[in-house]
Chain A
Amino acid sequence: MKRRGFIITGGIVGGGLLVGVGGLTYMNKRIVKYSGLGMGEGESLNAFVRIAADNTVTLAISKTEMGQGVYTALPMLIAEELEVEMDQIRVVHPQPEGPYANLFMAEEKPRAIDGKLTMMQKVFAFIPNIITGGSTSVRDAYDHLRVVGAMAREMLLAAAAKRWGVSTAQCYADTGFVINRDNQEKFSYGELASEAAQQKAPKNPPLKDRSEFRLVGKAINRLDVPEKVNGSAIFGLDVRPDNLKYGVIKHPSQVGGTITSVDNKSEIEGMPGIAGVVQIEEGVVVVGETTWHARQAADRLKVQEDNPVPVDAIKTLTASLSGEPSKIWEDQGNITTVLDESEQIIEASYEVPYLAHACMEPLNCTVLVDGERAECWTGNQSSTFILNGVSEGAGIAKDNIICHTTYLGGGFGRRGETDFVLKAAKVAKEFPGVPIQLVYTREEDMRNDFYRPAVVANLKAGLGKGEVNGWKKKVATQGALAGLLGRNVPMMPMKNEDDPSSTEGLRNLPYKMTAAYTDLTTMDLPMRVGTWRSVGHSQNAFFAESFMDECAHAINRDPYELRREMLADAPRFRAVLDKLAEISNWSQPLAEGQFRGMALHESFGSIVGEVAEISLHGKNIKLERVYCVIDCGRTVNPGIIETQMQSGIVYGLTAALYGAVHVKEGKIVQNNFPNYQMVKMNTMPEIITHIMEVDEYPGGVGEPGTPPIAPALTNAIFAGSGTRIRSLPLSRHGYKFV
């Protein structure tokens, strides 16, 4: 195991950064230095691009691959300008170092194309904020990684020009070669790499016009698919360092509880194949020769626990809504007057339960602690947090820790936490020199999640003749983002009432109304909550878009026509809605017994509209098809966008049909797929996706498909039966899916 050594290059993060005084110089240095660890043979042209003599191009991709396609989409952006073929590319995930920080998250905007960073972006690079989440990967990378590719290309051109003694204008780059225009002589990038690395990084390399793109915007094949069809892709649970032992954790049985002691430690340690029992603050871990040995033994643990008095979250939240709100998040026009003067008032209360992420790959982390150094292998959404977790758990300095980021068997926000890393590190510390693979069994995974919060909402509309005058919206919940930040970025704490995710997608809607008001009431509840695919949008779209349907029916308007009229000042929304009506044949009647509902929602910089078509017989629902239209601005890989729409819809559909985590006498009831059901092949509707052509900066695609599906579906149920569904999941109302 090697300590990380660093290379310092200017240029990529920001031109001219290496000047400054005092602390700023230190900051500026830190944000451009990188180790290149794990990038293999070759010469680094910058923090992202390394080229080997055999013309293999290794790219450091600092967003993690959890199915959303970043190990293809981001390399496409570099390859487009670097002028290499996709099959020359090898992708590695770098160490958590400054150049790789997600700077989009600093201010919800991409860095400037000339590389100049704002103060906040510098802070995020300094941390460094390595995070894959919030559907930000392409938004962070779209300009930046093309510049990265172009800079490396210019350095290769300069190296070749020098060899030939000509100007760089005499040379051009093509599929991994620099070619001399005069005589068609050529050098491969591999031949030029070491000389290119000596060239100065150009500040503003020329970028192609969109019309010249040969990769970006095309549905080219994913780089990770071959290893995912032959079983060779390595996930966290698949790493097998020498002398590996396996740990299985038993957490306290109740929410907020602690295990105070183990009654039968020596009995467990005496079982065959068991190497030890380690009690940590968060639970008890049995370490064994195989996962199965550890699991068998962990199931036999007898422990004493200290448990708090259970709380009924929904009841508490509902009661809280009648008190003073914690914070007013939106107050446009005069909502009181508008409601008073409206001809008709409708009011509705909505609620949604806690949800588990249930990533297909149960949570796990492998840690080796060896003297002053440590090594860690895990699929994660933030190597910054991982580093913190290993450092804290094992008591090792961060510069002496190497993080290996594997493929993720699903993330959905769950792997942005560090609980599994911290615990693995604590256990590994007790076994110096022995790598420990800690796994949460499916049962422990499901019962020890950071759940999508339970949320209640009360919505009131003032309606006129054929129109909506205003909405008053009240929400009560915990804070999903506040939870995540509080645990993982303690120096930037967020109060629950300041958590924007709780009202995102409910306030500042694109629909034109005379008045709109949103307030939030927050509660501290014992359940640990966190970010779940599409975060606040996951429930707020259900509230808002169901309520829009309620309004339309209350004033006898077609739900499409009413929305359309209210979107007069929001052309991109209207275009999506119109396209959706067109491809779903909204104005044409459906076959006997079939019904449809629509929903439109913006999240993560993209607008998605969905129409759900169902057959309804009593309480038996057959999901026939879903039409989906997305405007995510300029596209990188439409094939991946289409699959992300499908994926997001299935995720939201699973929640709408079955998703609920209940607490009974302080214990979480759901513990495996038989009682936390999933949509499968036989419940899967056909999904027809249309991607709008819009020449705007890209939006996200990993999450925006999820929010609209629940309201589209429940609106279809209303169309078919007159039953308004105001709480999820549907299974709780007796619906069956065929």
Chain B
Amino acid sequence: MVLKINGKEHQVTADPQMPLLWVLRDLLNMTGTKYGCGVAACGACTVHVDGQPTRSCLYPVSSAEGKEIVTIEGIAGEDLSAVQKAWIDHQVPQCGYCQSGMILAVEALLHENPEPTDEDIDQKITNICRCGTYQRARAAIKTAAKYRMESLETTTDQADQS
């Protein structure tokens, strides 16, 4: 089957039941997406499927066919995304293992809700971080929201001027 990942097409031969996580990690060697629990409980394996945050450990690869898959490797082309920038500004990662999944979950949250409240964050970011990076992650989410707003404004400004 053909999978569209980060804008590129990949030919894979896999059991249709094989979870997307293992296709990414073990067949395509895209190891940025992590295995934490295998039962959709930790969020380490979060990717986007057609823009939706998806825990890939329980998501059969056959369901991903024909959809746009985005992983941490493709979240921001050459440059860094607003979320990644904020993550660096706030020095969020510790061991780093949960961070790909956390960042993907946050990207999706901000896409849907550009100015999330603390309650929104509590509700939507249910990833487990065993290192306890939550406090800095929360601060970084707010900074990322600000960066996104600003870049939106600049884009609109430029559009106005032209």
Interface residues as binary, A197-237 with B (CB distance below 8 Å gives 1, 0 otherwise): 00000000000000000000000011011111111111101
Q: A291-B22, A291-B35, A360-B42 are in contact. Are A224 and B93 (CB under 8 A)?
A: yes
Candidates A65, A360, A407, A687; contact of B98 at CB < 8 Å: A360
| Contact in complex: B72, A231 (CB < 8 Å) | yes
Contact between chains at A67 and B32 (CB < 8 Å)? no
Bound-complex Cα distance A672 to B88 (A)? 31
**Residue B48 interfacial (CB < 8 Å):** no
Chain A residues, CB < 8 A from B92:
225, 229
A646 interface residue per 8 A CB criterion:
yes
Interface string of B99-129 (1 = CB under 8 A from A): 1100100000000000000000111011111
Q: Pick the contact of A409 from B37, B97, B122 — CB < 8 Å? A: B97
Q: What per-residue 1/0 map shows which CB atoms of B73-86 lie under 8 Å from chain A?
A: 10110001000100
- Residues in A with CB closer than 8 Å to B99 are 228-229
Query: Chain A residues near B2 (CB, 8 Å)?
Result: none
> Known contacts A229-B103, A643-B94; is A681 also within 8 Å of B33 by CB?
no
Indicate the size class of the contact surface on chain B: 35 or more
8 nearest A-B pairs in the assembled complex, by CB-CB distance: A231-B32, A650-B132, A409-B97, A67-B94, A67-B95, A228-B96, A231-B72, A290-B26
Is there contact, CB below 8 Å, between B25 and A681?
no
Contact B96 A233, beta carbon cutoff 8 Å: yes
Residues B134 and A681 in contact, CB atoms below 8 Å apart: yes
**Given A67-B94, A360-B36, A409-B34; 18 other pairs, CB 8 A cutoff:** A67-B96, A221-B91, A229-B80, A229-B92, A230-B80, A231-B71, A231-B73, A361-B34, A361-B36, A362-B35, A410-B97, A442-B37, A672-B39, A673-B37, A680-B126, A681-B125, A681-B138, A684-B134
Q: Which of B1-38 contact A (CB under 8 A)?
A: 15, 18-19, 22, 25-27, 29, 31-38
Count A-side interface residues using an 8 Å CB cutoff.
62
User: What are the residues of chain B within 8 A of A237 when measuring CB–CB?
Assistant: 25, 31, 34-35
Q: Is the CB of B132 within 8 A of A679?
A: yes
Cβ distance A221 to chain B, nearest Cβ, rounded Å: 6
- In the complex, 24 of the A-B residue pairs with CB atoms within 8 angstroms, ordered by the A residue number, are A221-B88, A224-B93, A228-B93, A229-B99, A230-B73, A231-B100, A238-B31, A272-B15, A290-B27, A292-B26, A359-B95, A360-B34, A360-B131, A409-B34, A409-B95, A409-B97, A410-B97, A410-B130, A442-B38, A643-B136, A647-B132, A650-B134, A679-B134, A681-B138
B149 touches A (CB below 8 Å): no
Nearest residue (CB) in A for B42 is A673
Q: Does chain A have a CB within 8 A of B135?
A: yes
Known A-B contacts A67-B94, A643-B133; A360 and B128 likewise in contact (beta carbons under 8 Å) = yes
Decide if B73 touches A292 in the complex (CB within 8 Å): no
Question: Which residue of B is nearest A221, CB measured?
Answer: B91
A interface, CB within 8 angstroms of B? 65-69, 221-222, 224-235, 237-238, 240, 246, 272, 289-292, 295, 358-362, 407-412, 439, 441-442, 639, 643, 646-651, 672-674, 678-682, 684, 686-687
Q: Which residue of A lies closest to B134 (CB)?
A: A684
> Smallest CB–CB gap between B118 and chain A, Å?
9
Q: Known interface pairs A231-B71, A684-B135. Does A410 touch B95 (Cβ–Cβ under 8 Å)?
A: yes
B64 beta carbon closer than 8 Å to chain A:
no
A229-B84 CB under 8 A given contacts A222-B91, A678-B128, A681-B137: yes
B145 within 8 A of A: no
Across the interface, B97 reaches (CB within 8 A) one of A222, A226, A229, A360, namely: A360
**Chain B proximity of A423: nearest CB distance (Å):** 18
Bound Cα distance from A225 to B125, whole angstroms: 21
Which residues of chain B are within 8 angstroms of A408 by Cβ–Cβ distance? 95
Is the pair A361, B38 in contact by a Cβ cutoff of 8 Å?
A: no
Closest to B95 in A: A67
Cβ contact within 8 Å between B96 and A226: no
Contact B122 A682, beta carbon cutoff 8 Å = yes
A240–B132 CB distance below 8 A: no
Nearest-Cβ distance from residue A11 to partner chain B, whole angstroms: 34
Q: Kindly name the residue among B44, B71, B91, B132 whose own CB sees the greatest number of chain A CB atoms within 10 A.
A: B132
Q: In the complex, A682 Cα to B125 Cα: how many Å?
A: 8
Chain A residues with CB below 8 A from B152, complex form: none
**Residues of B with C-beta under 8 A to A68:** 94
Give, as a whole number of angstroms, the nearest-CB distance from B34 to chain A: 7
The residue on B at minimum CB distance from A364 is: B35
Q: Which of A65, A292, A409, A680 contacts B18 (CB 8 A)?
A: A292
Contacts of A226 in B (CB 8 A): 88
Contacts of A235 in B (CB 8 A): 34, 96-97
B93→A651 contact, CB < 8 A: no
Q: Which residue of B lies closest to A292 (CB)?
A: B22
Q: How far does the alpha carbon of A408 sit from the alpha carbon of B42 in the complex, in Å?
A: 17
- A680 B128 Cβ-Cβ under 8 A: yes
List of A residues within 8 angstroms of B94 by Cβ: 67-69, 643, 647
Q: CB distance B18 to A410 under 8 Å?
A: no
Give the Cβ gap from A514 to chain B, nearest Cβ, in Å.
40
CB-contact partner of B95 in A66, A240, A362, under 8 A: A66
Distance of A410 Cα from B132 Cα, bound (Å): 11
Question: How far, in Å, is B47 (CB) from chain A's closest CB?
Answer: 11
Known: A229-B99, A290-B18. A360 touches B44 (CB 8 A): yes
Contact between A672 and B37 (Cβ–Cβ < 8 Å)? yes
* Docked pose: A439 CA to B42 CA in angstroms: 18
Q: How far is the CA of A643 from the CA of B128 in the complex (A)?
A: 17
A442–B39 Cα gap in the complex (Å)?
9
CA of A242 to CA of B113, assembled, Å = 43
A232 and B22 form a contact (CB under 8 A): no
Q: Is the CB of A361 within 8 A of B125?
A: no
